[in-house]
Structure formats: C-alpha cells, structure tokens
Amino acid sequence: MPPRSSLRVLAAPQTALRRGALPAAAWVGLVLAGCQPGTGPGLGHAGALSAAQPGTLQACESLTGSLNLPHTRIVSSERVPAGVVKQGDRPVPEHCLVKGRMHERQGADGRDYALGFEMRLPVAWSGRFYYQGNGGLDGVVQPALGALGGGPLTGALMQGFAVISSDAGHSGSQTPFFGLEPQARLDYGYQAVAKLTPMAKDLIRSAYGRAPDRSYIGGCSNGGRHTLVAAARMGDQYDGYLAGAPGYRLPHAALAQLWGVQQWAPLATPGATAKHPLNPNASIPDLGTAFTAAERQTVAQAVLNKCDALDGVRDGMVQATQACQSAFSIDDVPTCTGERNGTCLSPAQKQAVAAVHAGGRTPNGQAIYSAFPWDPGVAGHNWALWKFANAVALDPLSVGTVFTVPPAGKVDPLTADVSALLAQFSASNETYRESGLALMTPPGHDNPVNLTPLRERGAKMVIYHGVSDAIFSSEDTRQWMERLNRAQGGRADDMARYFMVPGMNHCSGGSATDQFDLLSSLVQWVEQGIKPQAVLAQARGAGNAGGVNAELPAAWPAQRSRPLCAYPTTARYKGSGAVEAASSFVCQ
C-alpha cells in the first residue's frame, strides 16, 4: 500500500507563485472586485495591448467565388439568420458561415486528405478572431461557436468573435488510422493550426475589410493541448491563449490509461461486459465492476470527511486541493472485512486505486504519467467513463496508431507492454521523422523559457482544469505552471493564470460549479490589463440556460456559486454570509 506521503508532491508549499488575498465584497461582471490593471513597466510585464475595435461584415455569399487564398478552396458561404443556431437555449446572432478545405492531397496511404474547416463570421464583429481547438482525435469539423467548457453562458461567436473550427487534417473513416499517414500525423500534432491560422486571418480581412485587431486560441482537452502547443510554436500569432484541461502530455496520459486497465482487470467480475462507448453493437469488459459507483461514492465521502472543512465550511466541496493531498490517505477509506458491499474497499482495491491515482509506473519503476489529486469528483460518471470504458475503447487506438514509431498497430490494453510502448513514443525513423512526443507536446514543456517572447510582447494565458479530471491530471498542469514560473524568473503571473475547478471531471460535469466564462476574463487581461484573480463559477442546476448538470448533489441549490481562484490561492469561506454565494468566499 502506498504510504500517506506517496503523493506529497501534490501538497508542495505554494510559495513559488506570488499569492494574494482577494476580497469578495462585490462582483464586477464575472470577475471579483479587487483585480486591478497591471502597473508594471512596458508590455512585457502586466500592461495591456490595445483593445480590439468593432467592425461590420462587408462580404459573405460572394466569398465563395471571389477568394483566392493559397492552397485553399472555399466550398460554400452563406448567411445564417439570428436564432437559427442556438448555444444552449440562447439564439446566436446573424453570421456568415464559410466552409472550405485547405491543402487537399492524396496521402501516402492512398486516402484523400485535407484540412477541413468552417468559419463563422458575425455581422456585428468585435474585431477579434478565435481559433477553436477541438477535442479527442479531432476528425470532425465541430460547429465554430467558440464554445467553452462546462455549459458556457456564451461562446466566442456569441461574444462577437470570428471563429474557425477544423478537423485537423483528417475525417471520417480516417480516424484513428490517419496516424499511419506521416503528414496527417503531423497535421494533427501541430501543423494544422499553423497552416489554418494565417489563412483564417486573410479570410477575415476579405470579409470585414481589415485583419483582426486581436487573436485568441482556446479549447479543452486536446483543444487545450493545441493551445499550449500554439503558445510554444506560434507565440507571435495569438494575443490570448485559453487552455482547458490541457492534455499537453497526451501520449503519457493515454499510456497510463492502458496501464490502469491492467490494474482494474484482476478485480473486475469475470465475464462481465459493458457497452462500447462508440459502437452500440459491441461490448467491452466491464472494468467498472472493479470499482463500482457505490464504492467510488464511499471514497468521495471519505475525501469529504477529511478535507471538506479545510476551506472553512462543510459544503460538499473541497476547495483546499493541495492541503487535502496531505490530509487524505486511501487508508481513510473503510477496509472490507467480508464481502464487498459498496461501503468499503478490499485491500487489493485500495492498492489499485492508490496506484492509479499515483499515475502508474513501468515494471522498472519509471513514471508513466503524473499523479492525480484526491477529490470527491471521483464519484462522477465521467470519471468512470474515462477510467473503465475509454481506456479500453479509445486510448489503445491513439497509442497504436498516432504516438508510437513505428506504429504499434492494434494494442490490447490487457496485455500491452507499457515499457516498450513508452520507448516507442520517443522514437523516429525515415518515414516518421518526428517522434510522437515531438509532434504532440509543446516544445520546451519541461522548461518553458521559450514563452518569454510571448510574455514580453504582452500576450496572456489562462488555464483551467477540473480537479477530478480522470484522463488529464490537474496536478500535471499545476506542475507545468510551477516550471513556467521558474523559467520566467518567478514572474509567471505576469503572463499566465491557472484556475483549478474543484469537483469537476474532464472539461465539465461532476459535483462542481462548472459554468464560467474565462474567455471574457482573458480578453479583459489582454486588452485592459485586468488580471483575473477570481472568476465567478455557477452550478448548472434546474433551468440552466447552458444545460443542466445531472450529477449535482440533490442538496445543492440550482444556482450555487463559488469563485474560481487563481493558483496558488484557494477559495475560503469568510466565516459569515450565505454558504451558497460566491461573495461569501475569499481567494487567499
């Protein structure tokens, strides 16, 4: 059994990043009062870039025949009246929808490839451009709404941005086998964003008569990875970077999933099956029987028993995430003395759960991935989906076709040699000249000093992550922030802010206040110099315009709110005031 100190790295003193207490007496928009414009000298410190100026759409339907952009074919362009498209239950304003294809070619595998994209150009334009990074293995041109994680109040399109969305260079039956085609693999890793960005800016110039004043890129999951990669590779192309649950070490996270399958399998009910998450006609081993919903709820309650009050109030949430890692141990969960009944864990279960939370190791002791924080969101449905279903159905595909050199082919997660696969992540050959790690991870992620030019010209980064994300660890992101701070000489908060979302699973959901608008906060920081220190987050209860979160505890009111606090500060109850209101908490 791992000792209580095995995850001490999660509870490292929060002294590296500058901290400060923020009063929560009044809210201004979505940002708590007390955030002041930066006063450091020059744009390289905390100064603001000039604000974007609004404009009006000048061309739409004519773009199909009139545009002559390099390597680009505009397939269609048409006006979309207000209200035809909705985000949640809110009508999207009138805009122009442009669809196109870039770099059409036949791949080495004989398949036809292109960078498929759509752009939505609002009639009433804010003067801003937003690149929407999509999730998973891409392969689908998602609607270019600039949607944000967690049941957003509004997306970038609703806020007047011109928005692009793409399939990252492959589509349909090419997924995930595009990873066998060398150029498609590179496009997915980083080249699609690099190719589409200048094209999109040229298209905006044709539609509005001028280029965007300010450019932003964002997304969650793989979209968050795209964002961090763009910051490292294209620091001169964007002014603001909004990265949610950034899977910037996606290969390692996927391999940890395969390793996890091998920990759960011996504890699962023999012969039990579950539905395949992608194919309703197929089944997979039911690994969820190794750690049932009732047992996960028991662990969640044990975490609450130890950590709920650390933020000053018992409210079914753990705000003091770092302190909780020292306070809680898997030994705090009752041990079964007889048959499993949902109220306890067997010794073997405790060992597996603790090992999976620690991130996994190869047989020779090499770490596979980051540790995961203890948090009551372990009870969430999305947590189980990633650990038990996607780990069997999705992650073996990405590992076998995209991240390994040579491609490992079909990978059986139950028998996979994780040590061999880990070595293949760093390999390259004449066909695949860049390794899986080189094409997927941000250059310099282990020492992000290469982001200095971004900071010096005044660009900003806002990062958020659910503490109970089961696929990408919020602790991995926290460690990245600490490395960024060291690389920037202790001045990372001049350019980057990190918001952990207690209880939230992957990008949304869980027992969390997961509805928030960090894009507006990012724009305020870039263009007004207002550092986001605390941002309003609300629960998505009954009647929520962005969609209801079905996993909210029954005792929570529909509109519970909390401040999301910039790391290393955490939300703490002030000792008085309504427990359900964000204004009763302070970031300190």
432, exposed or middle or buried, with CB in 10 Å at 0-12, 13-18, 19+?
buried
- Contact present, 580 and 317 (Cβ < 8 Å): no
Q: What's the rounded Cα separation, in Å, for the pair 519 and 98? A: 23
- Contact present, 196 and 117 (Cβ < 8 Å): yes
Cis (ω within 30 of 0) for the bond into 363? Answer: no
Taking CA atoms, 73 is separated from 101, 119, 184, in Å, by: 5, 13, 19
- Contact present, 409 and 400 (Cβ < 8 Å): yes
> What is the DSSP code (8-state) at residue 392?
H
Residue 167 Cα to chain centre, angstroms = 18
Three-state DSSP class for residue 487: helix
Residue 52 in tokens: 């974007």
Residue 304 Cα to chain centre, angstroms = 25
Residue 237 in tokens: 């192309």
Q: What are the respective helix, strand and coil percentages of the chain, to the nearest 5?
A: 35, 20, 45
Residue 496 in tokens: 């980057």
The residue annotated as part of the active site, out of 221, 468, 508, 511, is 221
- Contact present, 159 and 54 (Cβ < 8 Å): no
Give me the residue label for tokens 């293949």.
424
Closest by Cα among 582, 504, 511 to 541? 511
The residue annotated as part of the active site, out of 506, 517, 520, 584, is 506
109 is catalytic: no
Long-range CB contacts (within 8 A, 24+) of 58-65: 58/207, 58/208, 58/209, 59/206, 59/207, 60/96, 60/98, 60/121, 60/207, 61/96, 63/96, 63/98, 63/203, 63/206, 63/207
508 is catalytic: no
The residue annotated as part of the active site, out of 138, 308, 469, 494, is 469
R_g (Cα) of the chain, nearest Å: 23
Closest by Cα among 157, 130, 129, 125 to 55? 125
Helix or strand (DSSP H, E) at 204: helix 192-208
Q: What's the rounded Cα separation, in Å, for the pair 157 and 122? A: 7
221 is catalytic: yes
Give me the residue label for tokens 């390794």.
435
> What is the DSSP code (8-state) at residue 551?
T
Q: Where are the beta strands (DSSP E) in 343-489?
A: 460-466
Give me the residue label for tokens 């192309």.
237
- Contact present, 575 and 10 (Cβ < 8 Å): no
Q: What's the rounded Cα separation, in Å, for the pair 441 and 550? A: 34
Catalytically active residues are 221, 469, 506
